[in-house]
Amino acid sequence: MTMEKFRWGLIGPGRIAENFAQALTVIDDAELYAVVSRNKQRAISFADKYSAKTTYQQYSELVVDDKIDAVYIATPHRFHYEQIKLCLEAGKAVLCEKPLTVNAAQSQELMNLAKAQGVFLMEAVWTRFLPIYGRVKTWLDSGIIGEVKSLDSNFGFCVPRDLDDRMYNHDLAGGVLLDMGIYNVTISQWVYGENPQSIQASALLTETDVDEHTAVNMSYSNGRHSQFTCSFLVKHRNDFCIYGTKGHIKIHDMFWCTSDATLVTETEKLTISEPFRATGFEYEIEEAMSCIRAGLLESSIISHADTLATMTVMDTIRSQIGQKYSFE
Ligand SMILES: NC(=O)c1ccc[n+]([C@@H]2O[C@H](COP(=O)([O-])OP(=O)(O)OC[C@H]3O[C@@H](n4cnc5c(N)ncnc54)[C@H](OP(=O)(O)O)[C@@H]3O)[C@@H](O)[C@H]2O)c1
Protein backbone atom coordinates (compact mmCIF):
# COMPACT_ATOMS: atom_id res chain seq x y z
CA MET A 1 0.00 0.00 0.00
CA THR A 2 1.46 3.38 -0.93
CA MET A 3 1.13 6.15 1.61
CA GLU A 4 -0.35 9.44 0.43
CA LYS A 5 2.34 12.07 -0.11
CA PHE A 6 2.89 14.52 2.70
CA ARG A 7 2.35 18.02 1.27
CA TRP A 8 4.60 20.85 2.46
CA GLY A 9 3.91 24.54 2.13
CA LEU A 10 6.90 26.92 2.14
CA ILE A 11 7.06 30.48 3.47
CA GLY A 12 10.20 32.33 2.37
CA PRO A 13 11.74 30.86 -0.81
CA GLY A 14 15.20 32.38 -0.19
CA ARG A 15 18.67 31.00 0.48
CA ILE A 16 18.11 28.21 3.00
CA ALA A 17 14.78 27.15 1.53
CA GLU A 18 16.83 25.62 -1.32
CA ASN A 19 18.35 23.09 1.13
CA PHE A 20 14.88 22.19 2.37
CA ALA A 21 13.45 21.74 -1.13
CA GLN A 22 16.44 19.66 -2.31
CA ALA A 23 16.13 17.42 0.77
CA LEU A 24 12.45 16.81 0.00
CA THR A 25 13.41 15.29 -3.34
CA VAL A 26 14.94 12.25 -1.55
CA ILE A 27 11.90 11.67 0.67
CA ASP A 28 9.61 9.43 -1.38
CA ASP A 29 6.40 10.13 0.52
CA ALA A 30 6.74 13.93 0.63
CA GLU A 31 6.48 16.81 -1.80
CA LEU A 32 6.81 20.55 -1.94
CA TYR A 33 3.22 21.41 -2.68
CA ALA A 34 2.93 25.21 -2.37
CA VAL A 35 5.25 28.22 -2.19
CA VAL A 36 4.38 31.70 -1.00
CA SER A 37 6.43 34.81 -1.63
CA ARG A 38 5.61 38.50 -1.50
CA ASN A 39 7.26 38.51 -4.90
CA LYS A 40 5.08 36.65 -7.40
CA GLN A 41 7.92 35.81 -9.80
CA ARG A 42 10.10 34.46 -6.96
CA ALA A 43 7.32 32.10 -5.90
CA ILE A 44 6.77 30.91 -9.48
CA SER A 45 10.49 30.36 -10.17
CA PHE A 46 10.99 28.40 -6.95
CA ALA A 47 7.84 26.35 -7.52
CA ASP A 48 8.93 25.54 -11.10
CA LYS A 49 12.39 24.48 -9.96
CA TYR A 50 10.99 22.00 -7.41
CA SER A 51 7.73 21.05 -9.20
CA ALA A 52 5.47 22.58 -6.56
CA LYS A 53 1.85 22.68 -7.71
CA THR A 54 0.67 25.99 -6.25
CA THR A 55 1.97 29.47 -5.55
CA TYR A 56 0.60 32.30 -3.45
CA GLN A 57 1.52 35.92 -2.95
CA GLN A 58 -0.10 36.31 0.49
CA TYR A 59 0.98 34.29 3.52
CA SER A 60 -2.63 34.34 4.74
CA GLU A 61 -3.70 32.45 1.56
CA LEU A 62 -1.18 29.63 1.97
CA VAL A 63 -2.12 28.85 5.58
CA VAL A 64 -5.76 28.19 4.70
CA ASP A 65 -4.96 25.79 1.84
CA ASP A 66 -6.44 22.57 3.25
CA LYS A 67 -4.28 20.39 0.99
CA ILE A 68 -1.16 21.43 2.94
CA ASP A 69 -0.11 19.10 5.79
CA ALA A 70 2.58 21.34 7.30
CA VAL A 71 4.37 24.62 6.69
CA TYR A 72 8.14 25.19 6.68
CA ILE A 73 9.12 28.78 7.54
CA ALA A 74 12.46 30.10 6.24
CA THR A 75 12.31 33.87 6.63
CA PRO A 76 14.61 36.10 8.74
CA HIS A 77 14.20 35.53 12.51
CA ARG A 78 12.17 38.63 13.18
CA PHE A 79 9.20 37.30 11.18
CA HIS A 80 9.09 33.80 12.68
CA TYR A 81 6.80 34.80 15.58
CA GLU A 82 4.08 36.38 13.44
CA GLN A 83 4.26 33.71 10.72
CA ILE A 84 4.18 30.77 13.14
CA LYS A 85 1.21 32.42 14.87
CA LEU A 86 -0.60 32.79 11.55
CA CYS A 87 -0.05 29.09 10.79
CA LEU A 88 -1.06 27.84 14.24
CA GLU A 89 -4.21 29.94 14.28
CA ALA A 90 -5.14 28.35 10.95
CA GLY A 91 -4.47 24.90 12.43
CA LYS A 92 -1.34 24.25 10.35
CA ALA A 93 1.60 22.23 11.71
CA VAL A 94 4.88 24.16 11.64
CA LEU A 95 8.57 23.44 11.16
CA CYS A 96 10.33 26.80 11.56
CA GLU A 97 13.96 27.72 11.02
CA LYS A 98 16.17 28.52 13.98
CA PRO A 99 15.89 30.53 16.14
CA LEU A 100 12.21 29.71 16.64
CA THR A 101 11.66 33.31 17.76
CA VAL A 102 13.72 36.26 18.89
CA ASN A 103 13.30 35.57 22.63
CA ALA A 104 11.99 32.95 25.05
CA ALA A 105 8.77 34.79 25.88
CA GLN A 106 7.68 34.68 22.23
CA SER A 107 8.54 30.97 22.02
CA GLN A 108 6.59 30.18 25.17
CA GLU A 109 3.55 32.05 23.87
CA LEU A 110 3.63 30.09 20.59
CA MET A 111 4.10 26.76 22.36
CA ASN A 112 1.03 27.53 24.50
CA LEU A 113 -0.90 28.40 21.35
CA ALA A 114 0.24 25.21 19.58
CA LYS A 115 -0.95 23.11 22.51
CA ALA A 116 -4.26 24.97 22.72
CA GLN A 117 -4.79 24.45 18.98
CA GLY A 118 -3.62 20.83 19.10
CA VAL A 119 -1.03 21.56 16.39
CA PHE A 120 2.58 20.37 15.95
CA LEU A 121 5.38 22.91 16.31
CA MET A 122 9.14 22.32 16.00
CA GLU A 123 12.26 24.45 15.66
CA ALA A 124 14.30 23.29 12.66
CA VAL A 125 17.57 22.57 14.46
CA TRP A 126 18.72 20.18 11.74
CA THR A 127 22.08 19.45 13.43
CA ARG A 128 20.37 17.42 16.15
CA PHE A 129 19.00 15.00 13.54
CA LEU A 130 22.22 14.38 11.60
CA PRO A 131 23.30 10.72 11.73
CA ILE A 132 26.76 11.51 13.12
CA TYR A 133 25.14 12.95 16.24
CA GLY A 134 23.50 9.57 16.85
CA ARG A 135 26.97 7.97 16.77
CA VAL A 136 28.37 10.61 19.12
CA LYS A 137 25.48 9.95 21.51
CA THR A 138 26.35 6.23 21.50
CA TRP A 139 29.96 7.07 22.44
CA LEU A 140 28.79 9.41 25.21
CA ASP A 141 26.32 6.89 26.63
CA SER A 142 28.95 4.13 26.60
CA GLY A 143 31.15 6.16 28.97
CA ILE A 144 34.17 5.57 26.74
CA ILE A 145 35.52 9.10 27.35
CA GLY A 146 34.66 8.93 31.05
CA GLU A 147 32.84 11.74 32.78
CA VAL A 148 32.31 14.73 30.50
CA LYS A 149 33.63 17.89 32.17
CA SER A 150 34.33 20.42 29.47
CA LEU A 151 33.01 21.56 26.07
CA ASP A 152 34.89 23.85 23.71
CA SER A 153 33.45 25.05 20.41
CA ASN A 154 33.35 27.94 18.00
CA PHE A 155 31.44 29.06 14.94
CA GLY A 156 33.01 31.89 13.01
CA PHE A 157 33.35 33.23 9.49
CA CYS A 158 34.34 36.58 8.13
CA VAL A 159 30.94 37.90 7.02
CA PRO A 160 30.94 41.00 4.77
CA ARG A 161 29.74 43.93 6.89
CA ASP A 162 26.55 44.71 5.01
CA LEU A 163 24.17 46.30 7.50
CA ASP A 164 21.24 45.65 5.12
CA ASP A 165 21.83 41.89 5.00
CA ARG A 166 19.78 39.88 7.51
CA MET A 167 22.98 38.72 9.29
CA TYR A 168 23.79 42.30 10.35
CA ASN A 169 20.44 44.05 10.01
CA HIS A 170 19.02 45.11 13.38
CA ASP A 171 15.42 45.26 12.12
CA LEU A 172 15.67 41.65 10.86
CA ALA A 173 17.02 40.48 14.27
CA GLY A 174 20.56 40.21 12.95
CA GLY A 175 23.55 39.29 15.11
CA VAL A 176 25.89 36.35 15.44
CA LEU A 177 24.44 34.77 18.59
CA LEU A 178 20.95 34.16 17.21
CA ASP A 179 22.29 33.18 13.82
CA MET A 180 25.34 31.02 14.60
CA GLY A 181 25.96 30.84 18.37
CA ILE A 182 22.58 29.16 18.73
CA TYR A 183 24.26 25.95 17.51
CA ASN A 184 26.96 26.12 20.19
CA VAL A 185 24.28 26.68 22.82
CA THR A 186 21.92 23.97 21.66
CA ILE A 187 24.65 21.29 21.34
CA SER A 188 26.02 22.20 24.79
CA GLN A 189 22.50 21.81 26.20
CA TRP A 190 22.18 18.47 24.43
CA VAL A 191 25.48 17.08 25.79
CA TYR A 192 24.80 18.08 29.40
CA GLY A 193 21.02 17.61 29.32
CA GLU A 194 20.47 20.48 31.71
CA ASN A 195 20.48 24.26 31.90
CA PRO A 196 23.59 26.23 32.91
CA GLN A 197 23.79 27.47 36.49
CA SER A 198 25.64 30.61 35.48
CA ILE A 199 26.68 32.37 32.29
CA GLN A 200 29.40 34.91 31.55
CA ALA A 201 29.36 36.61 28.16
CA SER A 202 31.12 39.45 26.42
CA ALA A 203 30.69 40.80 22.89
CA LEU A 204 31.50 43.38 20.29
CA LEU A 205 28.35 45.17 19.09
CA THR A 206 28.00 47.12 15.86
CA GLU A 207 26.83 50.71 15.75
CA THR A 208 23.43 49.28 14.76
CA ASP A 209 23.38 47.26 18.00
CA VAL A 210 23.79 43.70 16.78
CA ASP A 211 26.52 41.42 18.14
CA GLU A 212 29.27 40.51 15.68
CA HIS A 213 31.70 38.66 17.97
CA THR A 214 30.46 36.99 21.15
CA ALA A 215 32.35 34.88 23.71
CA VAL A 216 30.50 32.84 26.32
CA ASN A 217 31.35 30.64 29.30
CA MET A 218 28.50 28.55 30.71
CA SER A 219 28.83 26.70 34.05
CA TYR A 220 26.80 23.58 34.69
CA SER A 221 26.38 21.36 37.77
CA ASN A 222 29.40 19.58 39.31
CA GLY A 223 31.86 22.13 37.92
CA ARG A 224 31.20 21.19 34.29
CA HIS A 225 31.38 23.96 31.72
CA SER A 226 31.04 24.92 28.06
CA GLN A 227 32.91 27.75 26.41
CA PHE A 228 32.32 29.04 22.92
CA THR A 229 32.92 31.94 20.58
CA CYS A 230 30.74 32.88 17.64
CA SER A 231 31.88 35.49 15.19
CA PHE A 232 31.21 37.39 11.98
CA LEU A 233 34.79 38.69 12.18
CA VAL A 234 37.11 35.66 12.15
CA LYS A 235 37.35 32.29 10.45
CA HIS A 236 37.31 29.84 13.36
CA ARG A 237 38.21 26.14 13.56
CA ASN A 238 34.45 25.53 13.69
CA ASP A 239 34.59 22.21 15.49
CA PHE A 240 32.94 21.09 18.72
CA CYS A 241 35.08 19.22 21.28
CA ILE A 242 33.70 17.21 24.17
CA TYR A 243 36.31 16.46 26.85
CA GLY A 244 35.94 13.66 29.40
CA THR A 245 38.11 12.18 32.15
CA LYS A 246 39.32 9.40 29.81
CA GLY A 247 39.42 11.03 26.38
CA HIS A 248 37.61 13.34 24.02
CA ILE A 249 35.29 13.47 21.03
CA LYS A 250 35.78 15.98 18.26
CA ILE A 251 32.76 16.76 16.07
CA HIS A 252 34.49 18.00 12.96
CA ASP A 253 34.50 21.35 11.20
CA MET A 254 31.74 22.51 10.43
CA PHE A 255 30.15 20.89 13.47
CA TRP A 256 26.59 22.09 12.76
CA CYS A 257 26.50 20.35 9.38
CA THR A 258 29.17 17.69 9.49
CA SER A 259 29.10 13.98 8.83
CA ASP A 260 32.39 13.26 10.66
CA ALA A 261 33.56 12.80 14.24
CA THR A 262 36.71 11.50 15.94
CA LEU A 263 36.98 9.59 19.19
CA VAL A 264 40.29 9.85 21.06
CA THR A 265 41.08 7.73 24.13
CA GLU A 266 44.36 6.57 25.66
CA THR A 267 44.28 3.46 23.48
CA GLU A 268 42.55 4.46 20.28
CA LYS A 269 41.89 7.19 17.74
CA LEU A 270 38.89 6.48 15.54
CA THR A 271 37.29 8.72 12.90
CA ILE A 272 33.87 7.83 11.55
CA SER A 273 31.71 9.28 8.80
CA GLU A 274 27.94 9.24 8.27
CA PRO A 275 27.28 10.89 4.88
CA PHE A 276 23.93 12.59 4.23
CA ARG A 277 21.44 11.29 1.68
CA ALA A 278 20.90 14.84 0.39
CA THR A 279 21.48 18.23 2.06
CA GLY A 280 21.12 16.91 5.63
CA PHE A 281 17.72 18.58 6.07
CA GLU A 282 16.00 15.29 5.19
CA TYR A 283 16.41 13.96 8.76
CA GLU A 284 14.60 16.82 10.52
CA ILE A 285 11.90 16.79 7.82
CA GLU A 286 11.33 13.05 8.31
CA GLU A 287 11.13 13.53 12.08
CA ALA A 288 8.54 16.31 11.71
CA MET A 289 6.46 14.22 9.27
CA SER A 290 6.58 11.17 11.50
CA CYS A 291 5.48 13.19 14.58
CA ILE A 292 2.65 14.89 12.66
CA ARG A 293 1.41 11.58 11.23
CA ALA A 294 1.46 10.12 14.75
CA GLY A 295 -0.62 13.05 16.03
CA LEU A 296 2.16 14.37 18.29
CA LEU A 297 2.37 18.06 19.13
CA GLU A 298 6.15 18.14 19.51
CA SER A 299 9.29 16.11 18.77
CA SER A 300 11.18 14.42 21.59
CA ILE A 301 14.46 15.19 19.80
CA ILE A 302 13.94 18.96 19.69
CA SER A 303 11.17 19.34 22.24
CA HIS A 304 9.51 22.60 23.21
CA ALA A 305 11.50 22.44 26.46
CA ASP A 306 14.77 22.11 24.48
CA THR A 307 13.96 25.16 22.37
CA LEU A 308 12.85 27.13 25.42
CA ALA A 309 16.06 26.26 27.30
CA THR A 310 18.20 27.44 24.38
CA MET A 311 16.15 30.62 23.96
CA THR A 312 16.43 31.34 27.71
CA VAL A 313 20.22 30.93 27.61
CA MET A 314 20.39 33.30 24.63
CA ASP A 315 18.16 35.83 26.43
CA THR A 316 20.61 35.79 29.35
CA ILE A 317 23.62 36.20 27.06
CA ARG A 318 21.97 39.09 25.22
CA SER A 319 21.07 40.80 28.47
CA GLN A 320 24.70 40.53 29.65
CA ILE A 321 26.14 41.92 26.42
CA GLY A 322 23.49 44.67 26.29
CA GLN A 323 21.93 43.56 23.01
CA LYS A 324 18.21 44.25 22.69
CA TYR A 325 16.12 44.58 19.55
CA SER A 326 14.10 47.76 19.27
CA PHE A 327 10.97 45.73 18.39
CA GLU A 328 11.12 43.37 21.41
N1 LIG B 1 19.46 25.58 9.10
C2 LIG B 1 20.45 26.26 8.56
O3 LIG B 1 21.52 25.76 8.32
C4 LIG B 1 20.23 27.69 8.21
C5 LIG B 1 21.14 28.34 7.37
C6 LIG B 1 20.88 29.65 7.01
C7 LIG B 1 19.75 30.29 7.50
N8 LIG B 1 18.92 29.64 8.36
C9 LIG B 1 17.73 30.32 8.90
O10 LIG B 1 16.80 30.50 7.86
C11 LIG B 1 16.12 31.74 8.00
C12 LIG B 1 16.16 32.43 6.64
O13 LIG B 1 17.49 32.71 6.26
P14 LIG B 1 17.86 32.98 4.72
O15 LIG B 1 19.29 33.40 4.69
O16 LIG B 1 17.44 31.84 3.88
O17 LIG B 1 16.93 34.26 4.42
P18 LIG B 1 16.80 35.12 3.10
O19 LIG B 1 17.25 34.32 1.91
O20 LIG B 1 17.44 36.45 3.33
O21 LIG B 1 15.23 35.39 3.02
C22 LIG B 1 14.31 34.33 2.89
C23 LIG B 1 12.91 34.88 2.64
O24 LIG B 1 12.54 35.70 3.75
C25 LIG B 1 11.77 36.81 3.31
N26 LIG B 1 12.45 38.07 3.65
C27 LIG B 1 13.75 38.36 3.48
N28 LIG B 1 13.99 39.64 3.86
C29 LIG B 1 12.80 40.14 4.25
C30 LIG B 1 12.38 41.41 4.72
N31 LIG B 1 13.25 42.43 4.84
N32 LIG B 1 11.08 41.58 5.03
C33 LIG B 1 10.19 40.55 4.91
N34 LIG B 1 10.54 39.33 4.45
C35 LIG B 1 11.83 39.14 4.13
C36 LIG B 1 11.67 36.73 1.80
O37 LIG B 1 10.39 36.20 1.54
P38 LIG B 1 9.54 36.69 0.26
O39 LIG B 1 9.99 35.76 -0.82
O40 LIG B 1 8.13 36.54 0.69
O41 LIG B 1 9.93 38.10 -0.04
C42 LIG B 1 12.79 35.76 1.42
O43 LIG B 1 12.46 34.97 0.31
C44 LIG B 1 16.81 32.48 9.14
O45 LIG B 1 15.99 32.45 10.29
C46 LIG B 1 18.09 31.69 9.41
O47 LIG B 1 18.44 31.61 10.79
C48 LIG B 1 19.12 28.36 8.70
What pLDDT is recorded for position 4?
84
Please give the radius of gyration of the chain, using alpha carbons only, rounded to the nearest integer.
20
Question: ω into residue 122 within 30 of 0, thus cis?
Answer: no
Residue among 61, 75, 78, 168 to mutate when testing ligand 1 (max atoms within 8 A of CB)? 75
pLDDT digits (tens, 9 = 90+) for 50-85: 999 999 999 999 999 999 999 999 999 999 999 999
Is any atom of ligand 1 closer than 6 Å to the C-beta of 184?
no
CA neighbours closer than 13 Å in the CB half-sphere of residue 5: 15
User: Which residue, judged by its Cα, is nearest atom 39 of ligand 1?
Assistant: 37
DSSP 172-208: GT--HIIIIIHHHHHHHHHHH-S--SEEEEEEEE-TT
Looking at the DSSP assignment, which residues form a beta bridge with residue 260?
Answer: 273
| Domain range list for the chain | 6-127+281-296, 131-275
CA distances to 10, 39, 159, 164, 264 from 79, rounded to whole Å, are 14, 16, 22, 16, 43
Q: What kind of fold does domain 6-127+281-296 have according to CATH?
A: Rossmann fold (3.40.50)
CA distances to 103, 154, 161, 243, 287 from 301, rounded to whole Å, are 21, 23, 35, 23, 9
Distance of CA 321 from the midpoint of ligand 1 (Å) = 25
Beta pairing, strands 70-73 & 93-97: parallel
- Which sign, positive or negative, has the C-alpha torsion 255, 305, 211, 12? positive
Q: Which atom of ligand 1 is nearest to the CA of 178?
A: 47
Is any atom of ligand 1 closer than 6 Å to the C-beta of 101?
no
Is any atom of ligand 1 closer than 6 Å to the C-beta of 174?
no
Alpha-carbon span 258 to 124, nearest angstrom: 16
**Mean pLDDT, consecutive 10-residue segments, the chain of 328 residues?**
85 98 97 98 98 98 98 98 98 98 98 98 98 98 98 97 92 98 98 97 95 98 98 98 98 98 97 98 98 98 98 98 95
Distance of CA 60 from the midpoint of ligand 1 (Å) = 18
What pLDDT is recorded for position 62?
98
Tell me the three state secondary structure of residue 110.
helix
Residue 1 CA, chain-centre distance (Å), reads 34
The whole model's pTM is what?
Answer: 0.97
What pLDDT is recorded for position 1?
52
What pLDDT is recorded for position 262?
98
Can you list the alpha helix ranges (DSSP code H) found in the chain? 17-24, 40-49, 59-62, 80-89, 104-117, 131-142, 176, 182-192, 282-293, 304-321
| CATH superfamily assigned to domain 131-275 | Dihydrodipicolinate Reductase; domain 2 (3.30.360.10)
Q: Which atom of ligand 1 is nearest to the CA of 80?
A: 45
What pLDDT is recorded for position 163?
87
Burial degree of 201 (CB within 10 A; 0-12, 13-18, 19+): buried
- The distance in angstroms from the start CA to the end CA of the chain is 50
Distance of CA 112 from the midpoint of ligand 1 (Å) = 25
Alpha-carbon span 214 to 13, nearest angstrom: 29
Residue among 166, 180, 285, 314 to mutate when testing ligand 1 (max atoms within 8 A of CB)? 166
